[in-house]
């Protein structure tokens, strides 16, 4: 699933002031760290125009979905692009 929060159909995603984007990003990462799921602490967030991109790796699809739901609750998030990779324990990224 690549996104969970979307603006209404036909509504443009407006540019946000850079400081607001930083606040959204920091809030998203803070919520992930406080979620109670240790694995979510390594997820990195980027924010551009209210669109938050999630990056990192997690051991299960369930945790990937939880990360998305946690970030969707952040005020100002318009859409989520979930680029988290799911890798089992000990799996390495190909060279």
Task: Please compute the mean of the pLDDT values over residues 9-33 and round it to a whole number.
Answer: 78
State residue 6's pLDDT score: 46
Half-sphere exposure of 86 (CA within 13 A, CB side): 10
For 94, the token pair is: 């190909």
Average pLDDT, integer, range 26-51: 96
Check residues 6 and 43 and name the one with the higher pLDDT: 43
Among 26, 22, 1, smallest CA distance to 79 is for 1
Distance CA 57, CA 86 (A): 6
Q: Residue holding tokens 């690549």?
A: 2
Average pLDDT of the chain is 85
pTM for this prediction: 0.76
Q: What is the mean pLDDT of residues 59-76?
A: 97
Determine the pLDDT at residue 19: 79
Total number of domains in the chain:
1
Domain encompassing residue 65: 18-86
Q: Does residue 3 belong to any structural domain of this protein?
A: no
Which parts of 17-66 are beta strand (E)?
A: 44-48, 51-55, 57-58
Q: Is residue 10 part of a domain?
A: no
């Amino acid at each position: 699933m690549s996104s969970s929060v979307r603006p209404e159909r036909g509504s443009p995603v407006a540019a946000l002031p850079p400081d607001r984007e930083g606040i959204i990003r920091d809030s998203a990462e803070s919520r992930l760290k406080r979620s109670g799921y240790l694995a979510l602490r390594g997820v990195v967030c980027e924010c551009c125009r209210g669109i938050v991109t999630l990056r990192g790796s997690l051991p299960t699809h369930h945790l990937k979905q939880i990360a998305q739901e946690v970030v969707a609750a952040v005020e100002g998030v318009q859409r989520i692009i979930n680029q988290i990779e799911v890798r089992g324990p000990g799996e390495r990224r190909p060279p």
